[in-house]
Amino acid sequence: MSNKIQSIRGMNDLLPENSPLWQFVEGVMRSTLKEYGYQEIRMPIVEKTELFKRSIGEVTDIVEKEMYTFEDRNGDSLTLRPEGTAGCVRAVIENSLLRGQAQRLWYMGPMFRHERPQRGRYRQFHQMGVEVFGLEGPDVDAELIAISARIWQQLGIDSVTLQVNSLGSAHSRERYRNILVEYFKGHQDKLDKDSLRRLESNPLRILDSKNPEMQSVIEQAPVLEDSLDEEDLLHFEQLKTTLDSMNIGYEVNPRLVRGLDYYGRTVFEWVTDLLGAQGTICAGGRYDGLVEQIGGKATTAVGFAIGLERLVELMREQSLSFGEEKPHAYLVLAGEQATSVGLGVAEMIRSAVPGLRLITNLGGGSFKTQFKRADRSGARLALVIGDDEAASGMVTIKDLHGKSEQQTVSVDDVANILSRYN
């Protein structure tokens, strides 16, 4: 007997009992983005490896340790996407979407990173991403933050905090980088192996270290704000002023640097203390140099991504209710003639009452068994067709919650009655 095949570690099944919550969360996101005039774009799950090396940066944990990379039959190096921004940038360049116009886009789907699975962090995970191209002011940064804030509001989430920072322009970051390298070189004995490796290649990532033994040296490091030029400071101040006008509370976190190389100026995260170490549920910022870096014409860009697993987990932690959609009715078919006409009646009812959630009993079963199925389904009503009803064109309607009297009506009248429950 062969061994039972199981799912890959860190890649989880989403079972039917959990689907309604996911659908509710995804539906809120879609409707919110539609209200703001953003359009959906869908990119391939697999991209050329070079795309991520060029965008994310070769000296990053994602590229060095976490990507699922393989060689296809043509000898090309391909990678399951570890994040969505690079693929979105590639798509807008390849399809000439940036010619003289701004683009407000969003996408949703699975991403892949070979990480150690833990609560809120999986090897296949899902993100909703939003990207805006061709707008350079702090007003669009503020709108993206407002969209994320409205999503929390629509979901009923109130246990999140907005953290903001500015990474400045490339020139400001280079000036800060030199100051930071000099500081950390003076404290090399306190740096771990990863930080020593990043000291020359990507010293800002040292500030993002979660190593508790390094927190004291990180806390005493020079802050980026002191290296920002006048335009950077003005952009950041205008962002904060706009957030104030929208009544969106925030904290300035000078150590917020983000994990990817392509960010500059505005960066932000929404964090919670209800999910342990994996407390970031949304992160984003400005990446004005990435389009040119990937091969397009220089274009300003800003975006954010929401981790759906963490967001769903947070909703469960807060015991938030959601619009779970149980069926309105269950069609019980008792008898050979009733079974033969039942599917036709069900289709007629669905056509007459758009949006009605109706389950038709399939696979036979006694009258008692079918009513047990109806109860388990959570339906409000049972529609009963026996051989007598089938012969006379009638349907019996029974309230499974006992709130109204049982009645037998013609098939033509069923739709009118069910429309009251829809």
Q: Which of 2-16, 215-229, 236-250 shows the highest mean pLDDT?
A: 236-250
Rounded-to-integer distance, Cα 379 and Cα 401, Å: 9
Provide the 10 A C-beta neighbour count for residue 406. Answer: 11
- Yes or no: say if 89 and 55 are a contact pair by the CB < 8 Å rule: yes
Q: Tell me the pTM.
A: 0.86
**The predicted structure's pLDDT at residue 89:** 96
406 and 263 belong to one structural domain:
no
Write out the residue range of the structural domain in which residue 404 sits.
329-418
Note the pLDDT tens digit of each residue in 176-224. 888 989 999 988 888 888 888 888 777 887 887 778 888 889 889 888 8
Question: In whole angstroms, what separates CA 188 from the centre of its chain?
Answer: 39
> Within a domain: residue 64?
yes
Strands 358-360 and 381-386, by their bridges, are unpaired
153 and 24 belong to one structural domain:
yes
Buried b (16+ CB within 10 A) or exposed e, 277-305: ebbbbbbbbbbbbbbebbebeebbbbbbb
**The predicted structure's pLDDT at residue 205:** 78
The binding site consists of 83-85, 113, 127, 131, 258, 262-263
Contacts of 128 (CB under 8 A, 6+ apart): 26, 29, 106, 107, 108, 305, 306, 308
299 and 376 belong to one structural domain:
no
Note the pLDDT tens digit of each residue in 308-319. 999 999 999 988
Q: Which residue has the higher pLDDT, 257 or 378?
A: 378
Last residue within a domain, chosen from 317, 338, 360:
317
- Yes or no: say if 27 and 19 are a contact pair by the CB < 8 Å rule: no
> Within a domain: residue 290?
yes
103 and 243 belong to one structural domain:
yes
43 and 67 belong to one structural domain:
yes
Note the pLDDT tens digit of each residue in 330-353. 999 988 888 888 899 999 999 999
Residue 381 maps to which CATH number? 3.40.50.800
Q: Is the dihedral of CA 254, 144, 168, 58 positive or negative?
A: positive
Q: Average of pLDDT values for 397-405?
A: 86
pLDDT tier, 259 (very low <50, low <70, confident <90, very high otherwise): low
**CA nearest 291: which of 40, 102, 88?**
88
110 and 247 belong to one structural domain:
yes
Tokens of 175: 């000036």
pLDDT tier, 102 (very low <50, low <70, confident <90, very high otherwise): very high
Tokens of 317: 């932690």
Residue 48 maps to which CATH number? 3.30.930.10
Last residue within a domain, chosen from 317, 351, 377:
317
> Within a domain: residue 195?
no
361 and 381 belong to one structural domain:
yes
> Within a domain: residue 209?
no
Q: Average of pLDDT values for 35-42?
A: 97
**CA nearest 334: which of 304, 296, 364?**
364
- Yes or no: say if 331 and 165 are a contact pair by the CB < 8 Å rule: no
Question: In whole angstroms, what separates CA 300 from the centre of its chain?
Answer: 23
310 and 353 belong to one structural domain:
no
DSSP strand E in 139-200: where? Answer: 161-166
291 and 391 belong to one structural domain:
no
Tally of structural domains, the chain: 2
The binding site for L-histidine consists of 83-85, 113, 127, 131, 258, 262-263
Rounded-to-integer distance, Cα 161 and Cα 248, Å: 10
295 and 352 belong to one structural domain:
no
CA angle 15, 16, 20 (to 5 degrees): 115
Note the pLDDT tens digit of each residue in 44-70. 999 999 999 888 766 566 777 789 999
Rounded-to-integer distance, Cα 390 and Cα 16, Å: 33
Rounded-to-integer distance, Cα 265 and Cα 250, Å: 16
244 and 381 belong to one structural domain:
no
